[in-house]
Amino acid sequence: RKEVEQDPGPFNVPEGATVAFNCTYSNSASQSFFWYRQDCRKEPKLLMSVYSSGNEDGRFTAQLNRASQYISLLIRDSKLSDSATYLCVVNRRSGNTPLVFGKGTRLSVIA
């Protein structure tokens, strides 16, 4: 079983749609969780950290369920500029340690 698994995608959605990405992780000792966004031929950029209480940043909402080892990202009112690959990322130990990346889910928002 892969350490971080994501929806295979791609997701093709119209502008204004709501889209949700799911992710599961296998290591129950994982400490911190993130969503990164990667545009084509660019480096990953941190979109948001994911907290146990859930967190929201504008149109983006992230949720964490430690019991199920499940992370989600919800994007409301999709914009064309949201088209990118979304990477679910887990820090498997405490402190500043290497990140484990999912393969990513590609989102295309179409006009």
Partner 1 sequence: SAVISQKPSRDICQRGTSLTIQCQVDSQVTMMFWYRQQPGQSLTLIATANQGSEATYESGFVIDKFPISRPNLTFSTLTVSNMSPEDSSIYLCSAARFSYEQYFGPGTRLTVT
46 binds partner 1 (CB under 8 A): yes
Min dist CB 57 to partner 1, Å, is: 14
Q: Per rule CB under 8 A, is residue 34 in the interface with partner 1?
A: yes
CB atoms within 10 A of CB 92: 17
> Would you count residue 49 as binding partner 1 (CB under 8 A)?
yes
First-residue to last-residue Cα distance in the chain: 37
Asked if 48 contacts 62 with a C-beta cutoff of 8 angstroms, the reply is: yes
- Contacting residues toward partner 1, per CB under 8 A: 31-32, 34, 42-46, 49, 87, 91, 95-104
